[in-house]
Every structure is written in structure tokens, then in C-alpha cells.
Structure 1
């Protein structure tokens, strides 16, 4: 059932639920439906601040954030206050995190994930189903059997690795699952339901209040609450819940809350010369659209502490000093004949968790009475060291194998570092950890120090990799549904 609080005549009375999920983006919608289907004896409440259409300027103003220091140019476009959340502008890029993304880097000052990839692997098929992705493998090996000519012959001893992206159509969750939400008898979805108060007594959230901007207000009582409002707004509500209390404890009182803000960002360091027809970018396969990418090998990441960045290659027309006309010449050290092309290298950088990169509250309040936030986005300086090391390694491997050459076109500089822009992935500010002293939420996504408050968001990621977070967010949501259901119903099949 879907109820729009903007329609006062349809507004319900106070609500009682077994679980209240706040935020109807990919995490919230998948979590609410998984729970409702797993527990038909429960009432699930899903509340969304927006409606089916794009937010008005008035609605957007509620989550206005002030940047301080470095510019964050995607700040205004990176959130969508509507049913379906940021899936409304999602590009569909999808892949699980790599194995090394779950591992702590000994050079970093915070631990990584409190479990390995095997913990999320059973939930990836659920995430693929939610996002309408047909293919189910993310290794390049099956692809190589069908498209050998499109990939580099790196060899087993290469310092480079290869991984695979897949693509959702992309699925717009608000459109795709609106009928499912309406038809689910034990689920109520409230639209234009702006959360403006969480009530806390001891270690429990005892209630919540939501309202439309001009209409009805509803009080919600639930056994458990889940914040799935996106990385920034989830963090904002937890900071507002803490208020002026000290940041010297667990959960909402954790000094980690609001720190380590990160986003993926790109770099185009140079070009390579390699044989024609390489397809380290999106192309069609029998299993659906795919995109191989080049990375450090896992052994190189573990041995040298590199960030897990990736590279795509885009063919371009160029007749400069990389000697395209001599490509394939054995006298020049090339391994094979044929035509050679120039490729622009596009990178996605894994950001290192930086405690100086923060979301904090200001004294200004929005229309709902909540304190606003300011963002101090500070990418870690070491991010670029790994990115340029990966490009250098690509050049070394091309030279070693005779597969090509590289040229650095945009050397590392203060200007390069200053001008990077984010990819709308809000990461890290409610980090997950095995111990309360290392994070904000536990491995089950429950906020430390609380009995019934959970987070379903990319803000829980303690290490970020280079992959778009949506697939992992949904896998975490499916896993959380199984945990909350409590009887094993909803387990992956």
C-alpha cells in the first residue's frame, strides 16, 4: 500500500510496525520488500521524504549542505529526494568489491571490512536480480574464451589484474518496484513523509515523527528502525540524534561518526599504444553488456599497499610521438604485427579513508528543524601516488611483454589533485567495524550502543575499492533483511 502524506484526506493515523525503514532508494526498497516477503506476519513501514516526481526547490533546500575548503561539484546533483532515490540518475555500473577491498592496508590508520567477500557472496545473486542484471560472472576468464582478441595477453606473472563490470539497464527503483510496494499487503509506503524527529530513551529508539511539508504528521512506533537515506542524510540524522552530546563513546557518540567522507573520482594520466581492437570499455557479450578493467594484481596490492584503482582504455585518433605507424615492429620491441591504436587511459581511484574528510553539523536549521551539515571533502594525498603507480606499471608491463608503449600526458601536480570531482558515491561516514572503538555500526549494521537502530547505506563501507557501490549496498540490504527477519526466511538461494 502506498499513501501520500501530501494528500491530507488520505493521511493515516499513527503507525505501528515491526520494522520502519526510512528512505526509499535501492537499499530501502529492496530491504522493505525482502522483509515483507520473508515475514508475512509482520507490518513493514517504508517512509520516503519525496514523491514519485523530482523534488521541488523547497524540498531540495531541506538537505542543502555547505562545502568548505575544496569544491565538491556534484553536491547538488548527487542526491534525489524521490521514490527510488539516486537510482533515478544511476548509470547502472555494477560489480562486487574485489577480495582485496575487504582487507586492511597496513599503511592505513583504520581497519577494513570486519568480514571477507565470502560473507556477501551469497547475497550478490539477490542484488543482481533487484537490478535486472542478466549475467552472473565477474571474472574476465570466461570472457577471454569468447573475446580473446579484445584483451591483452598479460600472462600469469603480470603485475596487472583484470576485473569485470556489468550493467543494470539501469533499473529505476521507483518506477520498477512501485507496483510491488502497492501490492504488498503487509507493507505501507508513506510518500512525502519527511523524518523530523527520532525519540530515544536509553539505548532504544522509541519512536519517529514524519510529516509532509504542508500537511499531515504521523507518529511511528516500531520494534526496529533502519536509516537508508543515503550516505549524507543518514549521517546527518545520526549527528542530529547525538545533538550536543560528547563524541567520546559508541555509535552516535563515536568520534568516527561523520569522518572519512569519500567519493570515487577519476584521472586521465596519459595514453598508451597497443594493438587494435582492445575493449577495456563497455561492449556487448552474450551474457549482457560488460566492461573489463585493468588493475594492480592482488599480490601487488598486498605486497606494496597500493590502493585498488582501475583503468579503462578508450581508442582515439592521434598521430604523435608514440609511433603508431611502427606498431608491431619486432625491431622496436613489439611482440606482434598488425595495426596499433592509441588509447586514452581513464582511471577510477580508490580513495583512502581520511579522518580529516568530514561531515559536521552547523547551527543553521532547515525547515524541519534539523541542523544542516557542512562538507569538508579532503581526498588523501596518497590516492594519487597509487593511481600514477598503476599507470606506470601498465607502461612497464606493455614494454616487458612487447604489447605496447605508454606516455604520461598529465603528470601529478597540485592542480591535478585540486581539480578532481566526485562520482556521487557518498562513502565512509558511518563506518562498519568489528569493534565499537573502530566504527559506528557493527557487522550486522546495527548502530553501536543502540538496541534497535540500523543503517543501510554506502556510508557503512570501511574501505571503498573502485566499484560503484549500488550492488554492494543491495547485497548488504538483503543480508540485513535476513538478520532482521530472525528466522532464516529470506536467505539467499
Structure 2
């Protein structure tokens, strides 16, 4: 069933074994997995089936930390969530990302990569990817070019796959609508979670934009609203627990992480005519594949380094083939152009228009170069830039808090204080230095480091990956949820999405979000067998 909350009678109480709040990648995946297991679920979405300024305004807030980030434009508050504008790059987190690592404070998940592998495999199809194959050897016969002869005790290839990208609203709306065990309500905004005398959630209060209120009674509740919103909701629910639900140890909202999106350091090739096809995007018969460079896990452990994948961006002799104009204005323009080409009005139309107006030069440059490159050859490679979404270490001072401004439902808005440390950038610099040593020893060329000591933060941008605000840890003094994603202090409340990540790794988070959602759905379905 799919319905607008406005069509229900005020004061209605709906009941189901499980209530999922948030219909993005995590929430939709969970609902579909529970349906396959024969478990009834109510799925709530605060936005509508399409973008609206009214819903999106709930995400407005303040940014007080690193300025190269955003709290509203980076998220979509509608059915399908932020999959409405993600780019599709996918890889699982590496085994080392789950370990407690020397040199990486607050690291160490309570689960291993091996434990998550079966769920990664199932997640592939949700994102319309190829096989669960992320070893270079799995793709060698399908890739053009040849890998550089680098010391494999230092540097190795890293495989990423590209989703189309999957838009969950377009791909799964019909499946949600048709599933008899799923009751999906949109324009359904969570206002409160009420706790009983035993500390469990007894019901959820949900409101429409017109002020109509209904209630949901379930055995278990899941918040799947994203890394910022999960924390904002828990902190707002302070009528029964002064500091908010799950916040007994002042951890909700802390350890906010994002990937350090930057293009820093560059390789001057020894042979400008050298073939770099292996490190450029590949169109295979199943899925597009991208190959990057990574330090080996043994070397990362010895050096105490954060994780990072370097993608190689060649700078061609012909300027028209270079993509250095691709900033946020260009990405906004590209998204709008794609929507118009499909006959749709772009979501976030005015926000994107303002982004373009702030820096129109990139758009003019991009359009001009894209026209020229159709008839102008690229020429030789003059240099190769290192592009990455680098890992930052978990930092308790990097956090989401509440401010005094209220949204339409009387809930306090979020303030994002994204904090990076010099050590994060020094680790990235050392990673580039070690890759440079391997490249130099192989006679490929020389690396010019793009980070000084002390490092400057002005070239570090957000990856729009909101991670870690309700982190997973066995110890309630170090994490908000346990290994099953259950809030430590509430027996029937769970968190889904990247807010539970203990560390961020370097891989884009969507594949892991979906894998963890499948894992949590299995857990809840197992607990609920025989109840429906």
C-alpha cells in the first residue's frame, strides 16, 4: 500500500511488527527484504514522491566547522532519498577499515568485513551492479590497457563499479506499492518517539504538513533518515530523556565524518605517450569499472595510515579534454541538464540555479570544452592528477548538534560542525609520498606532492557522505548502537544507514549502507518469525 498521510483520518493508530522511518536506500531496501521474509512493515517518508521545497526546507541548518561542506543541498528529502542525485560509484569497505588500527584513534568496528560479505553480495543487485567481484584479477580479461609494474608490497589496484546510478524512487516505487505486507506513507513526518516505563519505544507520533497527526505502534522501530537527520531526531526527542534518546553518554551526533574530496598531488609521467588506459573508466559487458591505486593493507598498518584510493585524472595537451572545471556549479548544471533531457523539471531547481549563479564560469568553460572535444584530439598527457575521497579519522569533536531555530514541526534544526585534523591531511600526504616512491622505482614518473607541512585545509571539500553520528560499538561509552544496530539504551530502536559506520574508509558509502540494511532486515525478520 502507498498513501499520502493527508488521506488518513487524524488520530488514526496504525500497527505493524516493524516501523521504518525514512524511505531512502536503507529504508526501502529493508522494507523490501522484510516483505520477502513475510514480515509486515510500515515505511514512513517525510517528503513526497517528488521533490518539494516545503519538505526540503526541513533540512536547512547551520554550518560552523569546515566551510567546504553543506547541510541541505547535499541531501534530498523525498521518496528515494539522496539516491535521487548520487553519482553511482561503488566498492565495499576494505577489511582493514573494520579493524582497530594503530594510528587511527577511535577505530574498530564490532563486526568484520568477512561477516558483511554475504550482504554485500546481495546488495549488488539493489544497486544494479555486476557480480560481487572487487579483485583486479576478476576483471583483467575485460579491461583494456596494462597495469603499471608497481611494487605489489606497496601499491595495488583498487576496483570500483558504477551503478547507473540507481534512483530508488524510479526503480523501487512500484515494488513498494505492490507489496501487500508494506504500508508506505509519504508526507509522514516523525515528531516524537514515546518511551514506556521499561524504556522501550511504545509509539511514534507522525504529522502531515497540514498538521494532521497519526500514531504508529510497532514492536521495533528503525530510523533510516541519514547521517545528519538520524542524530537530529534523537537529540530532539528529549521530553522523556533530557539529553535525547540514546544520548546517555553524549555520543549522539559525535564522530561526524565525511570523505575528504580533493584533487591533490600530481604525477609527471616519464613518457607522455605512455598508455594509461588501465586507469581510465572501462565499459565492460556487465558494469562500468574504475581502477584506482591503493597502498596495501600491510603497508597501511605498518605506517598507521588512513585508507585512500587515488584515481588518476590525466591532464591532456588539448585543454578541451580536461575536466578541471568540474566544481559544484558544474555538477548542479549537469544534473539540471540531465533532468530537462528526460522531460522532467529538475529537483532543487532554485537551489541549483543559485549554485550556478555563484560560479557561472565553470559552466561556461564546461560547455565550451565539451563542444570542442568532439572534434579536437586530446594530444599527449602532460601530467596526471591524484583525485580521491580520502578517509578522515573518527573525531568526537566533529559533530551534529541542535540550534535554536525551529522547523515547521517545532523541532530544532541541526548545526554541522565538520572538523578535520592536521593528522588526516598528513596521512594523505604520506600516502601520496609512498605511491610516489613506487611509481618512481618503476620508472613511471615523478610525483609532486600537493600538501605541505603543516597542511592547509582550503583545497579539501565535502564528499557529501554523512557518516558516523550514531556509531556502532560494543561499548555504550564509545558508540550509540551495538553490532546489531540497536540503540544500546532502547531495546526496540534501531538505526540504519551510514550514521552507524564506526569509520568511513575510502569507499563511497552507498553499497555498505544497503548491505547493512539487508543485514538488519535479516536480524529483525529472524526475531519476528512466527509473529505475523
TM-score normalised by L of structure 1: 0.89
Q: 1:415 deviation in Å?
A: 7.8
Q: What secondary structure is seen at the aligned counterpart in 1 of 2:477? A: helix
Q: 1:243 deviation in Å?
A: 5.7
Match in the other structure for 1:50: 47
Q: Distance in 2 between matches of 1:180 and 1:245?
A: 38
Q: 1:51 deviation in Å?
A: 0.9
Match in the other structure for 1:307: 306
Q: Distance in 2 between matches of 1:231 and 1:110?
A: 18
Match in the other structure for 1:483: 523
**Greater Cα offset, 279-288 or 118-127:** 279-288
1:241-269 Cα offsets, whole Å, 9 max, x none, are 2469566x993322221111111122222
Match in the other structure for 1:213: 209
Superposition pairs for residues 184-263 of structure 1, below 5 Å? 184-201=179-196, 202-214=198-210, 216-242=212-238, 245=241, 251-263=246-258
Q: Distance in 1 between matches of 2:248 and 2:434?
A: 43
Q: 1:5 deviation in Å?
A: 1.8
Q: Distance in 1 between matches of 2:306 and 2:248?
A: 30
Q: Distance in 1 between matches of 2:395 and 2:294?
A: 22
**Greater Cα offset, 14-23 or 370-379:** 370-379
Q: Distance in 1 between matches of 2:430 and 2:240?
A: 44
Q: Give the direction of change, closer, same or farther, for the CA distance of 1:446–1:8 in structure 2 (3 Å limit).
A: closer
Match in the other structure for 1:132: 128
Q: 1:399 deviation in Å?
A: 1.4
1:118 and 2:114 matched: yes
Q: 1:211 deviation in Å?
A: 1.6
Q: Distance in 2 between matches of 1:363 and 1:230?
A: 21
Question: Which of these residues, 453, 457, 462, is aligned with residue 417 of structure 1?
Answer: 457
Q: 1:148 deviation in Å?
A: 6.6
**Greater Cα offset, 143-152 or 212-221:** 143-152
Runs of 4+ in 1 over 6 A off after TM superposition: none
Question: Which of these residues, 262, 268, 272, is aligned with residue 267 of structure 2?
Answer: 272
Q: 1:142 deviation in Å?
A: 2.6
1:181 and 2:168 matched: no
- Contact residue 242 and residue 253 of structure 1 kept, 8 A: no
Q: 1:216 deviation in Å?
A: 3.1
Q: What secondary structure is seen at the aligned counterpart in 2 of 1:267? A: strand
Q: Distance in 2 between matches of 1:149 and 1:127?
A: 29
Q: 1:318 deviation in Å?
A: 4.7
Question: Which of these residues, 461, 466, 475, is aligned with residue 426 of structure 1?
Answer: 466
- Contact residue 353 and residue 380 of structure 1 kept, 8 A: no
1:403 and 2:402 matched: no
Q: 1:475 deviation in Å?
A: 0.5
Question: Which of these residues, 151, 167, 171, is aligned with residue 166 of structure 2?
Answer: 171
Q: Distance in 2 between matches of 1:63 and 1:156?
A: 45
Q: 1:280 deviation in Å?
A: 2.2
Q: Distance in 2 between matches of 1:109 and 1:288?
A: 36
Q: 1:110 deviation in Å?
A: 1.5
Q: Give the direction of change, closer, same or farther, for the CA distance of 1:37–1:150 in structure 2 (3 Å limit).
A: same
1:377 and 2:418 matched: yes
Q: 1:55 deviation in Å?
A: 2.2
Q: Distance in 2 between matches of 1:363 and 1:23?
A: 24
Q: 1:413 deviation in Å?
A: 6.4
Q: What secondary structure is seen at the aligned counterpart in 2 of 1:354? A: coil
Q: 1:72 deviation in Å?
A: 4.2
Q: Distance in 1 between matches of 2:461 and 2:14?
A: 42
Match in the other structure for 2:389: 348
Q: 1:366 deviation in Å?
A: 1.6
Q: What secondary structure is seen at the aligned counterpart in 1 of 2:237? A: helix
- Contact residue 223 and residue 496 of structure 2 kept, 8 A: yes
Q: What secondary structure is seen at the aligned counterpart in 2 of 1:62? A: helix
- Contact residue 241 and residue 252 of structure 1 kept, 8 A: no
Q: Distance in 2 between matches of 1:340 and 1:369?
A: 56
1:319-377 Cα offsets, whole Å, 9 max, x none, are 9xxxxxxxxxxxxxxxxxxx876312212210111111111122332211212221111
Q: Give the direction of change, closer, same or farther, for the CA distance of 1:487–1:208 in structure 2 (3 Å limit).
A: closer
Match in the other structure for 1:460: 500
Q: Distance in 2 between matches of 1:244 and 1:8?
A: 28
Q: What secondary structure is seen at the aligned counterpart in 2 of 1:417? A: coil
- Contact residue 70 and residue 418 of structure 1 kept, 8 A: no
Match in the other structure for 1:335: none
Q: 1:151 deviation in Å?
A: 1.8
Structure 2, unmatched stretches of 5+, are 319-379
Q: 1:389 deviation in Å?
A: 1.1
1:469 and 2:464 matched: no
Q: 1:124 deviation in Å?
A: 1.1
Match in the other structure for 1:75: 71
**Greater Cα offset, 259-268 or 176-185:** 259-268
Q: Give the direction of change, closer, same or farther, for the CA distance of 1:299–1:414 in structure 2 (3 Å limit).
A: closer
Q: What secondary structure is seen at the aligned counterpart in 1 of 2:494? A: strand
1:128-176 Cα offsets, whole Å, 9 max, x none, are 111111233111123234437342122433x112211101111110111
**Greater Cα offset, 99-108 or 238-247:** 238-247
TM-score normalised by L of structure 2: 0.82
Q: Give the direction of change, closer, same or farther, for the CA distance of 1:418–1:342 in structure 2 (3 Å limit).
A: closer
Match in the other structure for 1:328: none
Structure 1, unmatched stretches of 5+, are 320-338
